[in-house]
Amino acid sequence: MMMHFDLAQTAPAAPAPVPCQDASFCQRCDVRARAICGTLEEDDRAALNRLGRRVTVQAGQTVMWEGDDATIVANVIEGTLKLSASTGDGREQIVGVVYPSDFIGRPFGRSTPHSVTALTDARLCLFTRGAFDGFARTHPELGHRLLQRTLDDLDRARAWMLLLGRKNAREKIATFLLDMSQRLAGEGAGPLDSFALPLSRQQVADVLGLTIETVSRQMTDMKRAKIIDLPNRRTVEILDRDQLSCLAEVA
């Protein structure tokens, strides 16, 4: 069930700083080095920390709604969320997935281009957009990191266009599994050989423009070929990464 994210409980109505209850949070943050704030000096990171607050989001809860005023932005600390857009007749299309250390929201923007919904329980470092924009304007290194992330997202979107437009079903699923194994591992880490899919098979089908029957059949075929194993509905174990890369046409 989709639930509206209650801003009154997660961020102040006005873009005024929200005192952080735990000033040492940044020092203990698991994604500290990989998040957009990773390039800041300690004093500047502490100043940004004081502008935000930590919130917990339950699986299925919507953090931002497509078309709403862009009032908040956030670093993802833990969990996986989906980005989705709606067609005119109300159908949902998943347009992206975000992971720990990713940044969500639209800084310097007036409206939210897509909805953001938690696929798993998640923790966010949340800021009002006004407070974050003001901080970014006076800290160019943060703006530079945002630009890098934007260009990375653009490259990823172009690669996704190739996947959707030119690859067949088996190539799509193999590419998706390889990408998931890397993204869930985190920036700078080696890809995971075993991981839990944060999306259901129906959601995987929606992301890849396939039917759920096709997704299930292709994954079962890969299991029979001993390229992957599927201990349960969500867990994927990559047994032969080279062969999976060949299926995905990844050099």
Provide the pLDDT for residue 158: 84
Element (H, E) at 167: none
In this structure, which amino acid lies at residue 48? L
Q: Where residue 93 falls among pLDDT bands split at 50, 70, 90?
A: confident
Distance (Å, whole) CA 97 – CA 183: 10
In the chain, the domains with their CATH numbers are 3-155 (2.60.120.10), 167-248 (1.10.10.10)
Indicate whether 28 pLDDT > 50.
yes
The CA distance from 169 to 245, in Å, is 14
* Token pair recorded at residue 195: 């991981």
Is 27 or 17 the better-scoring residue by pLDDT? 27
206 within 8 A of 94, measured Cβ to Cβ: yes
| CA-to-CA dists, residue 24 to 28, 37, 46, 135, angstroms | 7, 15, 8, 20
Of 161 and 6, which is predicted with more confidence?
161
Tell me the three state secondary structure of residue 83. strand
* C-alpha to C-alpha distance for 211 and 197, rounded to whole angstroms: 17
Closest CA to 153 of 190, 106, 194: 106
**3-12 tens-digit pLDDT:** 444 443 443 3
The pLDDT of residue 250 is 62
Average pLDDT of 107-124? 91
CB-count exposure of residue 151 (10 Å: 0-12, 13-18, 19+): exposed
For position 22, what pLDDT does the model report?
55
> Across the chain, where does the E strand assignment appear?
3-4, 53-57, 61-64, 72-78, 81-86, 92-98, 103-105, 115-118, 122-128, 194-196, 228-229, 235-238
Report percent pLDDT > 90 for the chain: 44
- Per-residue pLDDT tens for 164-187? 778 899 999 999 999 899 888 876
The single-letter code of the amino acid at 176 is F
For 185-231, write each residue's pLDDT tens digit: 876 678 999 999 988 898 899 888 899 999 999 999 999 999 999 99
State the pLDDT at residue 186.
73
